């Protein structure tokens, strides 16, 4: 069954979206259906993001949603970024995370902490040609992010970076990397500083690309720093304030991961629902069997609950209200139900759902990462619990 048929499924109106947001959502949905759908399987099998598709994402402005128009961006909102991620994830969560990291981590950090010179120099590139990567994780600092060992030593007008980063999304295609290194190890996490590293800087190179279970079109690579010289003008924010940048951007990024997992769940449900209208067993279409109806009802209810949680967290962030607990809840719940709904979708398909001839097995593989990256489920529970007591 083709993905095109699935995307024709009717969608109930979302009364909590403005007319502008509805139009934006429809535009992204149309793009995902027409331009991403035909490439999904090939990109998954080759573990490569299609270069023409990346160019289209730039041209449509989906990699510059919140960048002001004066810098070549769309001048949109954080909520629109989440909508774009959700809609793209219904077709391919791998492409969605490319859009996610660019908008909610890299550009978000640049807008909040970049100075006037940095914005003028780099935002137009991020809007038109530079994919961004967010380089925090290391071999010994996953959940314990501030145990990082990559260091930065002051040398005249520069800093010299040495170390190794792992599991960096967008690394293979990126032109700009937000790299977290410790400029004062004796100060512990208060020495962590964020550096803007261009792909062409001497002493820097992209290393091994990971061979992953899911979201395979999204590159995940190691980064190597061997006396990499970075100008002091490329310090983002203040020296020693990198931990603050990391914490706050990841809190916001978790809402977007919730949106990605929401879209994945919706895509899985759409495939399952369409199949129940085509497949007959015991003389009736699957959708006429009460057992299947109950499965669909449970799936739809979980998706609706996740959507309300994700949208609520996104609205709170946009309105300048406290949102950290809600963001953690949204990511925790959306990543949980994405895995559950994708699994149930395979069961609706039966044996064929376990094959690569149908798209639900890929969505099931893609779902697993949602409970791991940008804060594991256990870390979300810790964040929620701390906020309650």
Cα distance between residue 81 and residue 99, in whole Å: 8
How deeply is 244 buried, as exposed, middle or buried, from its count of CB atoms within 10 A (0-12, 13-18, 19+)?
middle
Q: Residue 111, class by beta-carbon neighbours within 10 Å (0-12 exposed, 13-18 middle, 19+ buried)?
A: middle
The CA–CA distances, whole Å, from 48 to 6, 39, 158, 227, 274 equal: 24, 10, 35, 30, 29
Q: Which two tokens stand for residue 26?
A: 């429809």
Beta-strand ranges (E) seen in 58-212 are: 132-135, 151-155, 158-169, 176-182, 192-198, 204-209
Sequence-separated (6 or more) residues with CB below 8 Å from residue 77: 65, 66, 318
The rounded distance, in Å, linking the Cα atoms of 36 and 92 is 7
Picking from 251, 141, 230, the residue whose alpha carbon sits closest to that of residue 178 is 230
Place of tokens 């893609």: 366
Q: Are strands 220-231 and 158-169 parallel, antiparallel or unpaired?
A: antiparallel
Q: Side-chain half-sphere of 363: how many Cα atoms within 13 Å?
A: 35
Q: Is the dihedral of CA 297, 299, 300, 305 positive or negative?
A: positive
- The Cα–Cα gap between 19 and 34 comes to 23
Are the beta carbons of 306 and 262 closer than 8 angstroms?
yes
- Does the annotation count 186 as an active-site position? no
Q: Where are the beta strands (DSSP E) in the chain?
A: 132-135, 151-155, 158-169, 176-182, 192-198, 204-209, 220-231, 235-236, 280-281, 284-285
Q: Which residues are catalytic?
A: 374
């Amino acid at each position: 069954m083709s993905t095109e048929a699935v995307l024709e499924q009717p969608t109930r109106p979302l009364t909590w979206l403005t007319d502008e947001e509805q139009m934006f959502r429809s535009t992204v949905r149309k793009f995902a259906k027409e331009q991403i759908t035909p490439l999904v399987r090939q990109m998954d099998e080759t573990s490569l993001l299609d270069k023409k598709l990346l160019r289209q994402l730039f041209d449509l402005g989906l990699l510059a949603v919140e960048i002001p128009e004066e810098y070549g961006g769309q001048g949109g909102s954080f909520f629109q970024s989440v909508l774009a991620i959700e809609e793209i994830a219904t077709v391919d969560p791998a492409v969605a995370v490319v859009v996610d990291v660019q908008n909610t981590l890299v550009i978000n950090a640049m807008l909040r902490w970049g100075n006037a010179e940095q914005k003028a120099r780099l935002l137009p590139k991020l809007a038109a040609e530079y994919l961004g990567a967010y380089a925090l994780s290391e071999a010994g600092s996953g959940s314990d992010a501030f145990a990082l060992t990559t260091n930065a030593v002051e040398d005249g007008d520069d800093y010299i970076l040495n170390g190794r980063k792992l599991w960096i999304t967008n690394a293979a295609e990126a032109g700009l990397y937000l790299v977290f290194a410790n400029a004062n190890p004796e100060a512990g996490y208060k020495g962590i500083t964020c550096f803007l590293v261009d792909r062409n800087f001497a002493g820097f190179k992209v290393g091994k690309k990971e061979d992953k279970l899911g979201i395979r079109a999204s590159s995940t690579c190691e980064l190597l720093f061997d006396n990499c010289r970075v100008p002091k003008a490329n310090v983002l924010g203040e020296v020693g304030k990198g931990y603050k940048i990391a914490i706050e951007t990841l809190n916001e990024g978790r809402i977007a991961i919730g949106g990605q997992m929401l879209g994945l769940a919706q895509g899985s449900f759409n495939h399952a629902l369409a199949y129940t209208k085509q497949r007959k067993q015991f003389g009736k279409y699957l959708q006429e069997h009460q057992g299947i109806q109950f499965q669909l009802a449970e799936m739809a209810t979980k998706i609706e609950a996740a959507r309300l949680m994700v949208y609520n967290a996104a609205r709170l962030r946009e309105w300048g209200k406290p949102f950290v607990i809600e963001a953690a809840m949204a990511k925790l719940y959306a990543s949980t139900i994405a895995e559950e709904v994708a699994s149930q979708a395979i069961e609706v398909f039966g044996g064929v759902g376990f094959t690569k001839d149908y798209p639900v097995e890929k969505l099931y593989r893609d779902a697993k990462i949602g409970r791991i990256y940008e804060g594991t489920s256990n870390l979300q529970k810790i964040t929620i619990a701390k906020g309650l007591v």
